[in-house]
Amino acid sequence: MTEPLLSVENLHTHFETYDGTVHAVNGVSFEIGPGEIVGIVGESGSGKSVTALSTMRLEDPGRIVEGSIRFRGTELTTATDRDIRQLRGGGLSMVFQDPMTTLNPVFTVSEQIVESLKVHDNPEAQTLREYLRIPFFHDRTDWRKKRERVVELMEEVGIPNPAERLDAYPHEFSGGMRQRAMLAIALASEPDLLIADEPTTALDVTIQAQILKIIARLREERGMSVVMITHDLGVVADICDRVIVMYGGEIMEHGPVEQIIRNPQHPYTQALLECMPQGTQRKEKLETIDGQVPAQLGGITGCPFASRCDYTHDICWSGDMPTVDCGENHQAKCCELQRVNDGENATHSSNTGGTL
């Protein structure tokens, strides 16, 4: 691989709460190369979104307590607000899950795209005056000049009749259209890396397929890298090159998509894949993972998955788990990997036994 675009090393993000410190991200390391689509999967509470937010330096109210994030050679954990702002306007963009709450309801969609264009051109030139529509005191002549570019962007993300929709407000858009508008805003700054946090979770399958196609096309055309956060392994299998499986704030398994889907090594990845209804005969009982994602208060010793794993041994409850190479660019973090994949019987079969 060539020089990575983004490299995250031993990232620790904590949240202070009344109940104690929550270790949301616990020693996460990965790299994203140019033009790659990398998926991050895991259940709610596994630290996917906090990893993404930390990368954008939007982790507040959390705190990055350890580790480094380097984007195109710039160290983000120590960068000034100003430098980070320039990167967000220039190289890094993010798309969130719920486009209704991320779009500003009182500005038209096109204005919000123009804003992103302006920030890209000149990250320091935003003035309050331009936003307050007080007669004689605001000047938005250069906003109007950017309208052509807005139409182009809207076309690129598949918004039909963009010229007619320039004056539309977010509530006049359907869910899929809003997510496309979010994508247009993210693309306005011509990012090298797009972080998409569950971009299609709230959408219909047909619209999801449209958005995935657009993202794949943008990667082809612009050579843009994408970090795709999702809980749908189907989406990962269809669009990503590599996948990172997270649980309890740690990376459980990391490798090429085909490897992980066909030959998962870590018991958590295996359990996640078995949960998919596609793998089970119609009307048969579905596989489940018993128990809950740990609360991560005060940090976890041992493997975070130990309480739900079928292969748990005494050593799983304490110490650091080793990261084992199990193929080209394929690693799993488990101390019982040998036993898991020798097909030895599980110590207890909570997945198949019990009433449910």
Partner 1 sequence: MSSHAKHMSDDSDETRKPREAVIELENVTKEFALEDSLLDQLMGRRTTITAVSNVSLTAYEGETLGIVGESGSGKSTLANLITGLHTPTQGTVRINGEEVSSVTRRSPELLADVGVIFQNAKSSIDPRLTVRQAIAEPLKTQGYGRTERQERISELLELVNLSERYTDRYAHELSGGQAQRVAIARAIATEPRVLILDEPVSALDVSVKGSIINLLMRLQREFGLTYVLISHDLSVVRHIADRIAVMYLGELMEVGSAEPLFETPAHPYTKALLEAIPDTDPTTSVLDAFVLEGDVPSPVDPPSGCVFHTRCPIAEDRCRRDVPPVVDVETSASRCHFAKRVRAEKEEVQNP
Q: Which of 82, 129, 262, 348 binds partner 1 (CB under 8 A)?
A: 262
Q: How many residues can be counted in the chain?
A: 356
* Alpha carbon distance 49, 217 (integer Å): 24
CA–CA separation, 154 and 180 (whole Å) = 8
The least distance separating partner 1 from the CB of residue 160, rounded to whole angstroms, comes to 6
Q: Which stretches of the chain are assigned E, i.e. beta strand?
A: 6-17, 20-32, 37-41, 63-71, 74-75, 92-95, 193-197, 225-230, 242-247, 250-256, 323-325, 331-333
- Contact with partner 1 (CB under 8 A) among 126, 238, 307, 346: 238
Say how far apart CA 13 and CA 138 lie, in whole Å: 41
Told to check if 204 binds partner 1 by CB under 8 A, we report yes
Element (H, E) at 46: none
Q: Residue from 160, 223, 322, 327 that binds partner 1 (CB under 8 A)? A: 160
Tell me whether strands 193-197 and 92-95 are parallel, antiparallel or unpaired: parallel
177 binds partner 1 (CB under 8 A): yes
Q: Which stretch binds partner 1 (CB under 8 A): 63-71, 96-104, 128-136, 282-290?
A: 282-290
Q: Considering the rule CB under 8 A, would residue 175 count as an interface residue with partner 1?
A: yes
* Candidate segments 5-13, 112-120, 265-273, 326-334, binder of partner 1 by CB under 8 A: 265-273
- Taking the complex as a whole, the smallest distance from the CB of residue 339 to partner 1 amounts, in Å, to 22
Of the candidate residues 58, 166, 261, 324, the single one contacting partner 1 (CB under 8 A):
261
Round to whole Å and give the CA distance between 114 and 104: 13
| Interacting residues toward partner 1 by CB under 8 A | 43-44, 160, 174-177, 204-210, 212-213, 216, 231-235, 237-239, 257-258, 261-262, 271-273, 275-278, 280, 282-283, 285-289, 292, 355-356
